[in-house]
Amino acid sequence: SQTIHQWPATLVQPVGSPLSLECTVEGTSNPNLYWYRQAAGRGLQLLFYSVGIGQISSEVPQNLSASRPQDRQFILSSKKLLLSDSGFYLCAWSVNGLYGYTFGSGTRLTVV
């Protein structure tokens, strides 16, 4: 069966520090991968998605970047965190969007 792993579960980082959040999927090949952010009162915001290794699409301009170094690995990064980067980050995967996504358990990031 397919599983998705996302870590860490919580993270507190100072302003200006780097960020690396990792997401891996098991039990499937060539998944579509997604990074979402939930900030208070702003719903689900799609940040990045990837339909293949090295293929990254950015939905909104921001202080973050994403990479997909392996088929089932998706990394969200920042060189210097801002206070506004605080939020709940969710990774998700799909084989085909017509059948929905499977979400990871999320990372609560607090930038102080």
Q: Which residues bind other proteins (CB under 8 A)?
A: 6, 32, 43-44, 46, 49, 51, 88, 90, 92, 94, 96-106, 108
Measure the N-to-C terminal CA separation of the chain; round to a whole number of Å: 38
Q: How far is the CB of 17 from other proteins (least distance, A)?
A: 22
Contacts of 51 (CB under 8 A, 6+ apart): 32, 57
Q: Which whole-number Å values give the CA distances from 53 to 16, 32, 49, 67, 85, in the listed order?
A: 29, 10, 11, 9, 25
Nearer to other proteins among residue 2 and residue 80 (C-beta): 2
Nearer to other proteins among residue 45 and residue 79 (C-beta): 45
Nearer to other proteins among residue 16 and residue 49 (C-beta): 49
Q: How far is the CB of 16 from other proteins (least distance, A)?
A: 26
Q: How far is the CB of 35 from other proteins (least distance, A)?
A: 12
C-alpha 47/C-alpha 103 separation (Å) is: 14
